[in-house]
Amino acid sequence: MTIALALEQLLNGIQLGVMLFLMAAGLTLIFGVMGLINLAHGSLYMVGAFACAAVAAWTGSFWIGLVASLVAAAAAGAIVELAVIRRLYDRDHLDQVLATFALILMFSEGTRWLFGSFPLYLDIPPLLQGAVALPGGTEYPVYRLAIIAAGALVAFGLYMLISRTRLGMRIRAGESDREMIGALGVDIRTLYTVVFALGAALAGFAGAMVGAIQSVQVGMGEPVLILAFVVIVIGGIGSIKGALLGALLVGVTDTMGRFLLPKLMVLFVPPAQAGAIGGAVASMLIYIVMAIILAVKPRGLFPPAHA
Amino acid sequence: MKKMLAAATLALSLSASGLAFADPVKIGMITTLSGGGAGLGIDTRDGFMLAIKNAGNKDITVVTEDDAQKPELAVQIADKMIQSDKVDILTGIVWSNLLMAVAPSAVAQGKFYVSTNAAPAQLAGANCHKLYFNAAYQNDNLHEAVGEYANKGFKKMFILAPNYPAGKDSLTGFKRYYKGELAAEVYTQVGQTDYAAEIAQMRASGADGIFVFLPGGMGIAFMKQFAQSGVKIPVMGPGFSFSQDVLPAIGDAALGAKASGQWAPDFDNEASKKFLADFQKEYNRLPSIYAVQAYDAAQLILAAASKASVSDADAFAAELKKAEIQSPRGNFKFNTNQHPIQDIYLTEVIKKDGVLTNKTVEKIFTDHGDAYAKDCKL
Amino acid sequence: MILTRENLINLILAAALLAIPLIANAAGQPFYITLATRVAILALAATGLNLALGVGGLVSFGHAAFFGIGGYVAGILASHSFSGEPVLFGLSGTNQMWIIWLVAMALAGVVGLAIGAISLRTSGVYFIMITLAFAQMVYYFAVSWPAYGGEDGLSILVRNQFPGVMTMVPMNFFLICYVILLVGIALFAVIRASRFGAALQAARQNEVRVATVGIQPYRIRLTGFVLSAMITGLAGALFADLNRFVSPSMLSWHMSGELIVLIILGGTGRLFGPLAGAALYVAFEYALGGITERWQFFLGLILLLVVLFARGGLVGLLAGKAKHG
């Protein structure tokens, strides 16, 4: 094992973390403002990927597809908020879990209804094809670097949006005192729809970006969704900063675990089984990390002050 | 002349299966028609029904239900089909874990099970059963073939599969025939979607060839990411990694990938050409290997039903075992453990008229059986 | 027991669950016995969850872990009994159901204690997520651990034995499950009515008040969570015997979701809510699956409508507002 390989793996971990952040940011934003737990967030991720793939196939341009994914996911989010989610804000988490669980079933089967049963094709735009040389002599895919950049941009954009704009001010107000901002004359219903659509658009954007290097298929959102939950629980639910750091922690832990644990296991068990057992432990690693963090800090690493 | 003769026997066998059966046959098809794996189930159903439709026999009925890729649901549907619909034969399951939930208990209740795809090792060896047939392959077969192919020109292979039984069977099958050195043997998480960490290990390993078994979405993700990584090591795998259900989604990233398979759309035999034309006419798309396997399963059942009554299990099993069909795959017969003996080919992903498809390169195995047949006491 | 409207509905539900297989048996339709057995087992699993969720207000999104552990206990002990190899430390396997049940409950309880001890330090959404994550951990362990079949699962070749009963006869196995379900429901009623149950409910409604009278809510909740895990674990063992098969899908988060669905469909916190919910769910799944390939879409739609418009579930719809909070 060389230093270069270890560095490359670290980069891979950061890149996985950034992908998870794109997903987790919307989830944690929606929870922070509306106190809503949204299991169907993974479905919005899927909507983004399918919209991007379909539009890219139709127009021949990934970039138009990317815009379409934002529009489609935001629209789907807004419709879902108006039709369903709106009725759930003053319910307990149990009802929210069940309603959004039902939405997953409907989204998955509905998508299959529209797009058929086979995975769709979505390729990386020509501009971002191929690999570049890294210091140390290895090559790294341009697209993965682009994902890291996009994640950093989204993080910065969200920070600016929340700390510098009127919408952000309302979001912060909504996080700290829900009744109060209604009393101040802010149209809270519209605000909630806008925030939900924004969270959905983030998920859709993540779906489109990631869909280009993964499989655009029904059910693609579910594994990511659970990882995103782990991320926001570690980071502190409702905290964007927590989501970013939680995502990086999960990404790096998972990647390094998959890379190092099988090698470590060789010291304890016969080599023939080391790969399988190391893989088994690696697949549980992030949950173990999460359990340890929550045992010490039950509200995550960066709990929002008001909660 | 030879071709004409083949066509004539084909016509003969089709008309023979159109005759009335000794007893009506009821088939229960349990397959995956919803969720992420639905593509495979739909090809299975369509291939099977194509053979049934071609036969045009009124004495055969097929009931179909969706298992949503859940073992518990598959068990429930099997119970219903056996107890309520009174089917004689079950078929259609795509996945090994669902098959293991359904087939052993179905045959224990005296029903036939004819597998169209899944073929776990447990049912091929000591636990083989007189009523259990597999019309597809044995799970290890295609991996064995790639292992044999890799002996020519590859000295150090990097092999990778998901960390579940079919994945372990896969690497075991590969290693059974591959004689060279292994750069690494890596197991990934089931359903994993990001392979950056593994691709980095491949780059660093000094391997001269890569074998991957990653079915469905996992394979799509891997191939797309591998193509972007700048790693230039040749990739090979079993046929389902590059079958017609996933090829369009992988795109040009799959070009040049070598795979093993019992069938490819360019097979030069009458049965294959007819199957291909019929399937495209009926469903307006290219069939995958799953469709071929199901098509043959239906042909086998039809052939046996025209000679024996399904209510006489021994006679029907005997007819099924020696049934002669015109398989698109070419040579096909059952081994002692009622799994196929067939030829396995090397294929390569090419682009033909703008469509990605598999081209046959060479034959790897002739009349290949499996490693477990010797443990089967049938 | 006073014959309130809810009690009457409960009686009818219990009688109907017994009557359907009896009629099916007489009519030569054994499949409906299997279906009724499934309802009984799922109802038992949900009754376990109902103790944590309905009474204690602990929304566990990870009860599939206990359900699956129960199932794996049945599968593993049976496979060792079949092969004759010891399980651990020279202890042999068994095909006796009652031993399996005890082991399943004990193991589910121990794992429940470990998961609960960490998870109950959190509350609200954190609790939902952390229970989900723990269940995922168990799930991935089962998928990737080489022994006992991994993703392929484990077949139970012959259904486990119960003294004096031919368990392979569907009706007999149904009766076993039915009796256990009734015992489980009775136990639920006793616990809910006990001082412990009162404390558990109080801890949900007003944590501070409970603490001021000298009860530690954490301990009360942990006890409730462990009891809940044990009942669900027992149901898992029965489920494995029903299917003669156990696999990681019993541990998946979809299973956890389904258990919650059963409770809400029937009526959260209601004594017979899980039974009503399980009956409805299995009926939907069976009927819709026979009609359309798109059945999951319509199942989702029905669930959504129930949450939005039929609060209190089936029992709530029929019997009116709950007496218990």
Dihedral, CA of residue C202, residue C204, residue C208 and residue C210, to nearest 10: 30
Domain map (residue ranges) of chain C? 5-319
- For chain A, give me the number of helices (H) and strands (E)? 11, 2
Q: State whether B158 and B254 are in the same domain.
A: yes
- A218 confidence band (pLDDT: 50, 70, 90): confident
State which H helix or E strand residue C275 sits in: helix C273-291
Mutate to test the interface with B, among A1, A118, A216 (most CBs of B within 10 A): A118
- Name which residue leads in pLDDT, A79 or B97: A79
Amino acid at position A235, single letter: G
Q: What are phi and psi of B118, to 5 degrees?
A: -55, 135
Q: Tell me the shortest Cα–Cα distance from B244 to chain A, in angstroms.
A: 10
* Structure confidence at residue B1 (pLDDT): 43
* Structure confidence at residue B9 (pLDDT): 47
Dihedral, CA of residue A288, residue A290, residue A292 and residue A294, to nearest 10: -150
Q: State whether B27 and B125 are in the same domain.
A: yes
Q: State whether B87 and B209 are in the same domain.
A: no
> The whole model's pTM is what?
0.86
Q: How many domains does chain B have?
A: 2
Q: State whether B97 and B20 are in the same domain.
A: yes
Tell me: the pLDDT tens digits for B206-264? 899 999 998 888 888 999 999 888 888 999 999 888 888 888 888 888 898 999 999 99
CA B200 to chain centre: 31
Dihedral, CA of residue C220, residue C226, residue C229 and residue C233, to nearest 10: -150
- Residue C166 vs residues B12, C37, C175, C176: alpha-carbon distances, Å: 51, 15, 11, 11
Q: Does A94 touch chain C (CB under 8 A)?
A: yes
> Are residues C118 and A31, on separate chains, in Cβ contact within 8 Å?
no
> Are residues C146 and A277, on separate chains, in Cβ contact within 8 Å?
yes
* Structure confidence at residue B272 (pLDDT): 94
Residue A118 DSSP class: S
Q: State whether B239 and B290 are in the same domain.
A: no
A89-109 average pLDDT score:
89
Write out chain B residues lying below 8 Å of A16, CB-based: 194, 196
Amino acid at position C226, single letter: V
Q: Which residues, other chains included, contact B35 with Cβ-Cβ below 8 Å and sequence gap of 6+?
A: A108, A112, A218, A219, B68, B69, C296
Q: State whether B149 and B218 are in the same domain.
A: yes
Task: Count CB neighbours of A231 within 10 A.
Answer: 30
Q: State whether B108 and B133 are in the same domain.
A: yes
Name the residue facing A131 among B39, B228, B248 (closest C-beta): B228
Structural domain of residue B122, as residue ranges? 2-137+266-334
A135-151 average pLDDT score:
86
CATH of C5-319, one of 1.10.3470, 1.10.10, 1.10.287, 1.20.1180: 1.10.3470
Q: State whether B242 and B315 are in the same domain.
A: no
Return the structure tokens found at C180: 């256990």
DSSP-assigned states of every residue in A50-90: HHHHHHHHHHS-HHHHHHHHHHHHHHHHHHHHHHTGGGGTT
Q: State whether B279 and B321 are in the same domain.
A: yes
> Are residues B71 and C243, on separate chains, in Cβ contact within 8 Å?
yes
Q: How many angstroms separate the CA atoms of C64 and C253, rounded? A: 7
Q: What are phi and psi of B209, to 5 degrees?
A: -160, 155
Characterize the bridge pairing of strands B258-261 and B235-238.
Answer: parallel
> Are residues B77 and C243, on separate chains, in Cβ contact within 8 Å?
no
Residue of chain A whose alpha carbon sits nearest to that of C253? A226
Q: State whether B185 and B218 are in the same domain.
A: yes
Looking at residue B67, which CATH number applies to its domain?
Answer: 3.40.50.2300
Residue B363 DSSP class: E
Q: State whether B112 and B155 are in the same domain.
A: no
In the beta sheet, which residues pair with residue B91? B29, B114
**3 state DSSP class of C208:** helix
Structural domain includes residue B339: no
State which H helix or E strand residue B342 sits in: strand B340-352
Residues of chain C with pLDDT under 70: 1-3, 90, 321-325
Nearest in space to B166 (alpha carbons), one of B217, B238, B114: B238
> Are residues A94 and C53, on separate chains, in Cβ contact within 8 Å?
yes
> Are residues A290 and C296, on separate chains, in Cβ contact within 8 Å?
no
**Complex ipTM tops 0.90:** no
CA A271 to chain centre: 36
Residue in the block written with tokens 């769709």:
A120
Domain map (residue ranges) of chain A? 12-234
Structural domain includes residue B340: no
Q: State whether B150 and B124 are in the same domain.
A: no
Characterize the bridge pairing of strands B355-368 and B340-352.
Answer: antiparallel
Q: How many angstroms separate the CA atoms of B347 and B350, rounded? A: 9
Per-residue pLDDT of chain B in tens (378 residues, 90 and over written 9): 444 444 444 444 444 445 567 778 999 999 998 776 788 899 999 999 999 999 888 889 999 998 888 888 898 899 889 988 899 999 999 988 899 889 988 998 899 999 999 998 888 988 899 999 999 999 899 999 999 999 988 999 999 998 887 888 899 999 999 999 999 888 888 788 889 888 988 988 889 999 999 888 888 899 999 988 888 899 999 988 888 888 888 888 889 899 999 999 899 899 999 999 999 999 998 898 999 999 999 999 999 998 889 989 999 999 999 998 999 999 899 999 999 999 999 999 999 888 889 999 999 999 999 989 999 988
Q: Does A22 touch chain B (CB under 8 A)?
A: no
pLDDT(A202) > 90: yes
